[in-house]
Amino acid sequence: MKDTLLRDQVSAPSRRGGQKAEAGKNRRLHLDVTPENLAVITFAHPDKSANVFDEATLDELHLAISAVECLKPGGLVFVSSKPSIFIAGADLDSLADANQERLEHLIVKGQDAFRRIADLPMPTAAAIHGACVGGGLELALACDLRIASNDRSTKLGLPETMLGILPAWGGSTRLPRLIGLPKALNAILSGKSYAASHAKNLGIVDAVVPAERLLEASAKLLRRSPVSRKRHFATNNFVSATGIRFFTRRRVLEKSRSNYPALLEAIEVVCRGASGSIAKSLEREKDALLRLSGTSETRNLMRLFRLQERAKKLRYTPSIQLADLDPIERTAVIGAGVMGAGITQWLSSREVPVILRDIDRTRVAAGMELVRKLFGSAVKKRILTRHEAMLRMDLIHPSAEPVSLQRCDLVIEAAVEDLEVKKKIFADLCKRSGDNTILATNTSALPISELCTADGITHPERIVGLHFFNPVSRMKLVEVVITDHTSPEVIERVLAFVREIGKLPVVVKDSPGFLVNRILMPYLIEAGHLVDREYDPAFIDEAMLDFGMPMGPLRLLDEVGLDVAGHVAVTMREAFGDRFELPECIHELTKEEHFGRKSGRGFYRYENGKAIGESAKDTVYGGLSREQLADHLAGLMVKESEGCLAEGIARDAEDIDLAMVLGTGFAPFRGGPLAWKDDRNSPPPGNSKTDHFTI
Ligand code: NAI
C-alpha cells in the first residue's frame, strides 16, 4: 500500500502536475519534487470546496511524510490548490459524530502527523494563501517557517474555543513557544483570525509576499540558514506562567460567568505547556479535548457552527437555477437614519453601489456622517485600508431629491416605523422603479402583507422584508420575510444577495414581529413587569448575564429605546393579545421622556453614553435565586419559540435557534431556546439540570 502510494504520489520532476494528477485525482493531497529537490505537498480535497482534515487526509499525510523521509529532499513546502483556502481545520462532521474512543484515535493521529513534520531533518515551510485556521494553522506551526500571501482572503487563527474545544493537534503547545505565552493565550481564548500582516506582527508568520510569489519566496527562505527564534524566557517559565494562569483564569471566570469550560481548559493547557515537555503538553491537550467533547456546551457550539454553514448555502426553492436569475447589482436605501446609514455603509463596504435617499439635505448629511464614522472604525480595526474605505464611500450616491430607481435591482426602505408612511413610500417606489426591482422593507414588526395590498402597489410578488439588525456592521443575521405574494424567484434572488454581502439569512413568514422580535418581546416585557413588582432592575439583568446573555433585558430595552420597544409591543399586542401588554414602568418612563440611553435615562442613568450605578450583588431577591429568575424569563422565549415553530413562522427548530443566537446573542453555549429546552428535559451526563420555575 505504502509503495503504491509512494509510486503514485512521487512523480519525476518533469512530470509535475501532469500524469500524476490524473493517477491521483481522488487523493486529498499530492507530493511532488521540483528539479531543485524541493518536496511540495499540495492539499487538494477532491470532494469539498475547502481542504479539511478528515481521517483519510491524515492517513495520506502520514504516507506523504514517510515518502519525504525516504526521499530526503532539500526542503519541504505545504501548499493548497484551493483558490482562497489553505486548510480550514479539522472536519467537524467527523469530530461531532465521534465517540470518545474514536475521538482519541483522531487526536493522536493528528498529533503524530504534526510531530513527524516537526521532527523532519530537512527545513519545512507552510506557504499559506487563504484561510489557515484550526488544524491548518496547527500544521503550519509544526513547520519551521510560515510564509503567507498578502491577499485579503489569507487569515490565520485558532478558533477552537469558539466551538467549545481547544487546539489539540499541538496548537496549544506550539503557539506559546513561538510567540510567547501572553500573546498565544490571547489568540487562543479570543479565537480571532488575523490578516497576514497582523499575524506577522504577532510573530506567527515569518514573511508576507504576493500570492504569485508564495512558492518561490518559500523556497528561497528554506535555502537560508535556520531562523533563530526568540525564546520568551521572561513569560514561558513556571513562575511567570503560574501567575499568568491565575490572573487569566480569574478574568475569564468573571467575564464568562463560568459558562465556557473550554476557555478554562485552554488556559490550563496553554500555560502549563508553555515550557517543559512537548509530549506531556500534547497529552494534556488530548485529555482536555476528551473531557470537553462530552459536554452540552461543546455540542451546542458545534451545532451552531454547522447551522451557520447551512445558512451560508440556504436555498428556498432549490429547483430554481441561480444562473437564470438576474443578480442584484445596484441598490437604493430609503431613509438615512441609524438603520439606513448602517445598511448603506455595509452594502458599499461590500462593493455594492447604493443610492441613499432621505427627505431633506440635513438628514442625508447626518446619514452620510454616520456612514463616514462606520468606515472610520473599519479602518481603525484594520478591516479596510483608508484608500479602500474612500473607494467604497464613492459607491454611495446621496440624494435629498426623489430619483429614478429604474436601474436599481433592489430598494431597501428604512424609514420611520409607521405603516401609513411606509405605504406611501412603497406606492411611490412602485412608480419610480422597474417591474423587476425588488422592494424590501427593514420594518421591525409591521405586517408586510398589508404593504402588498395597499393603494398604488404594483407587482406585490417583488415585495419582501429584509430585516437587518442593529448595529448592521456587527450583526450577521438578516431575516428574509416572505408573504403569500412573494415569488420564489424573488426569494432566491434575495437569498443570493444576502449571502453575497456576507450576512446569514433565515427565511421567515410574514407575521407581526417576524421571528426574533416576536420571541424576544415577551421576555423583555416580563422583565418590565417584574420591575412593576419592585424587583431590582440590576438583579434582573445580572440574572440574565449569569444565564449567558450578552446584556440584561432592561439594559437592552434602554439600548433599543423604550419608545421604539413600545411601538413594537403595540403592534404585537394587537396581533397576539395580553402577553405583549406593556408594563406600567415603561409607560411612566416614556411619559417623562426617559427613552433609555439616547435620552440619558431609562431603567438606568447614562453618562457619556455609559450606564452608571452599582451592579446587583444579591444572589437571591424576593425569594428567588438568580438562576430561578433566569429560568423563568428564558422560559418565556422557549414558549414563544414553540409557538413560532407550530405556526410555521420559521422553517424548523434549527433556524429558530440560529436566529435567536445571531439576532439577540441568546447564550450561544446553550444553543438557542429550543436546544436549551431539550437539554433541560434530558441533560447529557455531567450537566446539572435546572428545575423549571415559573413565577
Ligand atoms: P430613524 O428614525 O433613525 O431613521 C428614519 C429615517 O427615515 C429618518 O432619517 C427620516 O427622515 C427618514 N424618512 C422618514 N420618511 C421618509 C421618506 N418618506 N423618505 C425617505 N426617508 C424618510 O429610524 P431607524 O432606527 O433607522 O429605523 C428605520 C426602520 O428600521 C424602522 O422601520 C425600524 O423599525 C427598523 N429597524 C430599526 C432598528 C433599530 O434598532 N433602530 C433595528 C431593525 C429595524
Residue given cell 416614556 in the structure block: 590
Q: How far is the C-alpha of 204 from the C-alpha of 194, rounded, in Å?
A: 10
The CA 501 to ligand 1 mean position distance, Å, reads: 21
pLDDT of residue 683: 61
Q: Which atom of ligand 1 is nearest to the CA of 367?
A: 9
pLDDT of residue 618: 73
Q: Are 297 and 261 in contact (CB under 8 A)?
A: yes
Q: How far is the C-alpha of 532 from the C-alpha of 71, rounded, in Å?
A: 78
Q: Which residue has the higher pLDDT, 329 or 226?
A: 329
For the cut 60, the answer to whether the pLDDT of residue 508 exceeds it is: yes
pLDDT of residue 3: 35
Q: How far is the C-alpha of 12 from the C-alpha of 276, rounded, in Å?
A: 42
Q: What are phi and psi of 396, to 5 degrees?
A: -95, 135
Q: Are 171 and 158 in contact (CB under 8 A)?
A: yes
The CA 386 to ligand 1 mean position distance, Å, reads: 29
Mean pLDDT of 427-449: 94
The CA 411 to ligand 1 mean position distance, Å, reads: 14
Helical residues (DSSP H) of 610-667, grouped into ranges: 626-647, 653-664
Is 2-293 a CATH 2.40.128.20 domain? no
Mean pLDDT of 149-164: 96
Is 322-509 a CATH 3.40.50.720 domain? yes
Q: Which atom of ligand 1 is nearest to the CA of 443?
A: 32
pLDDT of residue 610: 86
Mean pLDDT of 537-559: 95
In the chain, CATH 3.90.226.10 covers 2-293
pLDDT category at 96 given cuts 50, 70, 90 is confident
- How far from chain centre, in Å, is Cα 410? 26
The CA 271 to ligand 1 mean position distance, Å, reads: 49
The CA 335 to ligand 1 mean position distance, Å, reads: 6
The amino acid at 94: S
Q: How far is the C-alpha of 472 from the C-alpha of 479, rounded, in Å?
A: 12
pLDDT of residue 47: 86
Q: Which residue has the higher pLDDT, 129 or 624?
A: 129
The amino acid at 202: L
pLDDT of residue 117: 98
Q: Which atom of ligand 1 is nearest to the CA of 468?
A: 43
Contacts with 282 (C-beta within 8 Å, 6 or more apart), sequence order: 111, 115, 170, 173
* Mean pLDDT lowest among 225-239, 383-397, 498-512: 225-239
Q: How far is the C-alpha of 79 from the C-alpha of 81, rounded, in Å?
A: 7
Stated length of the chain: 695
pLDDT of residue 14: 35
The CA 484 to ligand 1 mean position distance, Å, reads: 25
Q: Whose Cα sits closest to atom 20 in ligand 1?
A: 358
Q: Whose Cα sits closest to atom 29 in ligand 1?
A: 414
Q: Which of 45, 129, 459, 467 is catalytic?
A: 467
The CA 444 to ligand 1 mean position distance, Å, reads: 10
Mutation choice for ligand 1 from 355, 425, 444, 570, CB with most ligand atoms inside 8 A? 444
In the chain, CATH 3.40.50.720 covers 322-509
Q: Are 138 and 167 in contact (CB under 8 A)?
A: yes
Q: Whose Cα sits closest to atom 18 in ligand 1?
A: 425
CA-wise closest residue to 411 among 509, 662, 318, 402: 402
Mutation choice for ligand 1 from 358, 428, 446, CB with most ligand atoms inside 8 A? 358
Q: Which atom of ligand 1 is nearest to the CA of 360?
A: 11
Residue given cell 421622556 in the structure block: 593
Residue given cell 513556571 in the structure block: 238
Cell of 240: 511567570
* Mean pLDDT lowest among 18-22, 253-257, 388-392: 18-22
Residue 428 burial (CB < 10 Å; 0-12/13-18/19+)?
Answer: middle
Cell of 481: 420575510
Q: In the beta sheet, which residues pair with residue 357?
A: 334, 399
Q: What is the pLDDT of residues 273-325, one digit of tens each?
A: 998 899 999 999 999 999 999 899 999 999 999 999 999 999 999 999 999 99
CA-wise closest residue to 212 among 136, 157, 147: 147
pLDDT category at 77 given cuts 50, 70, 90 is very high
Mutation choice for ligand 1 from 416, 424, 448, CB with most ligand atoms inside 8 A? 416
pLDDT of residue 296: 93
pLDDT of residue 17: 39
Q: How far is the C-alpha of 574 from the C-alpha of 580, rounded, in Å?
A: 9
The CA 551 to ligand 1 mean position distance, Å, reads: 24
Q: Which residues line ligand 1 (CB under 6 A)?
A: 334-340, 357-359, 363, 414-417, 421, 425, 442-444, 469-470, 560
* DSSP letters for 146-211: EEEE--TT-EEE--GGGGT---TTTHHHHHHHHH-HHHHHHHHHH--EEEHHHHHHHTS-SEEE-G
Q: How far is the C-alpha of 48 from the C-alpha of 32, rounded, in Å?
A: 22
Q: Which atom of ligand 1 is nearest to the CA of 417?
A: 32
Q: Are 176 and 236 in contact (CB under 8 A)?
A: yes
CA-wise closest residue to 597 among 473, 470, 475: 470
Q: Which atom of ligand 1 is nearest to the CA of 422?
A: 18
Cell of 652: 424548523
In the chain, CATH 1.10.1040.50 covers 521-648
Contacts with 598 (C-beta within 8 Å, 6 or more apart), sequence order: 561
Mutation choice for ligand 1 from 333, 339, 343, 355, CB with most ligand atoms inside 8 A? 339
The CA 341 to ligand 1 mean position distance, Å, reads: 9
Q: How far is the C-alpha of 218 from the C-alpha of 208, rounded, in Å?
A: 10
Q: In the beta sheet, which residues pair with residue 433?
A: 405
- How far from chain centre, in Å, is Cα 292? 21
CA distances 179 to 41, 94, 150, 173, Å, are: 26, 31, 20, 11
Q: In the beta sheet, which residues pair with residue 9?
A: none
Asked about 467 being catalytic, the answer comes back as: yes
Q: Whose Cα sits closest to atom 39 in ligand 1?
A: 470
pLDDT category at 24 given cuts 50, 70, 90 is low
pLDDT category at 688 given cuts 50, 70, 90 is very low
pLDDT category at 686 given cuts 50, 70, 90 is very low
pLDDT category at 614 given cuts 50, 70, 90 is low
Q: How far is the C-alpha of 381 from the C-alpha of 383, rounded, in Å?
A: 5
Contacts with 148 (C-beta within 8 Å, 6 or more apart), sequence order: 128, 129, 132, 154, 156, 196, 199, 200, 205, 207, 208, 209
Cell of 263: 476557555
What counts of helices (H) and strands (E) characterise the chain? 28, 22
Q: Which atom of ligand 1 is nearest to the CA of 366?
A: 9
Q: Whose Cα sits closest to atom 4 in ligand 1?
A: 337
Q: What is the pLDDT of residues 250-276, one digit of tens each?
A: 999 999 998 999 999 999 999 999 988
Q: Which atom of ligand 1 is nearest to the CA of 338?
A: 26
Q: Whose Cα sits closest to atom 14 in ligand 1?
A: 415
Q: What is the pLDDT of residues 217-242, one digit of tens each?
A: 999 999 987 778 888 988 999 999 99
Q: Whose Cα sits closest to atom 1 in ligand 1?
A: 337
The CA 563 to ligand 1 mean position distance, Å, reads: 13
Cell of 44: 487538494
Q: What is the pLDDT of residues 174-230, one digit of tens each?
A: 999 999 999 999 999 999 999 999 999 999 999 999 999 999 999 999 998 777 888
CA-wise closest residue to 567 among 402, 415, 418, 373: 418
Cell of 273: 505547556
Topology classification of domain 521-648 = N-(1-d-carboxylethyl)-l-norvaline Dehydrogenase; domain 2 (1.10.1040)
